Amino acid sequence: MTQLTPQDLIDFVYREAQLLDELRFEEWLDLFAEDGYYWMPLTHGQTDPVLEGSLLYEDTLLLRIRIERLAGQRTFSQQPKSRCHHLLQQPRVIDFDPNATEHQVKTSFIYTETRGDNLTHYAGWATHDLVQDGDQLRIKLKRVDLVNCDAPFGNIQLFM
């Protein structure tokens, strides 16, 4: 196994966004650790996803259920299917030690989701808490902080 570098963390974040943009959700879910979470806070600076309300706080089981729903033939909210695009600034490595197994990367983004002729834009920051699992990196926590997290939202169909 080769030594992990900060560039490996950056490449991981870009690859994750590519999988989402290509709607390869099963492969995307495989990036998560078994005990991984996807979290979208409801307020700025929120520190607890359990004791405070969140826009989303999903473990891998809930993520799998959402992915299965998106693929379902009777999911009428997905006819036509939603599509998305991530525009990322270069991810910043926040916490890295080549001898450690946990690392953190933060990325500013603009996210676009579309279905039919509806186009919705979101802006924010994604923080990836990554863990090494053998020779693989896995997502322990993906935290998505939206600039306007406290605004009223319609349905967010896909994953930022």
Question: Using CA atoms, how far apart are residues 90 and 106, in angstroms rounded to an integer?
Answer: 9
pLDDT value at position 15? 98
Q: What is the mean pLDDT of residues 137-154?
A: 94
Q: Is 69 helix (H, G, I), strand (E, B) or coil?
A: helix
Higher confidence at residue 2 or residue 67?
A: 67
3-state secondary structure of 8: helix
- Residue 6, pLDDT score: 96
CA distances to 17, 43, 97, 139 from 39, rounded to whole Å, are: 16, 12, 24, 12
Q: Please state, as a whole number, how many other Cβ atoms lie within 10 Å of the Cβ of residue 127.
A: 17
Please tell me the predicted confidence (pLDDT) of residue 5: 94
How does pLDDT run across 25-82, given as a tens digit for each residue?
999 999 999 999 999 999 999 999 999 999 999 999 999 999 998 887 777 777 888 8
111 and 122 Cβ atoms separated by less than 8 Å:
yes
Question: pLDDT digits over 66-125, tens only?
Answer: 999 888 777 777 788 889 999 999 999 999 998 899 999 999 999 999 988 889 999 999
Helix (H, G, I), strand (E, B) or coil at 141: strand
Q: Is the pLDDT of residue 1 over 70?
A: no
What global pTM score does this model have?
0.93
> Within 10 Å of residue 150's Cβ, how many Cβ atoms?
12
pLDDT at residue 2 above 90?
A: no
Domains of the chain: 6-146 (3.10.450.50)
**Alpha carbons 70 and 36: distance in angstroms, whole number:** 20
Q: How many other C-beta atoms can be found within 10 angstroms of the C-beta atom of residue 142?
A: 23
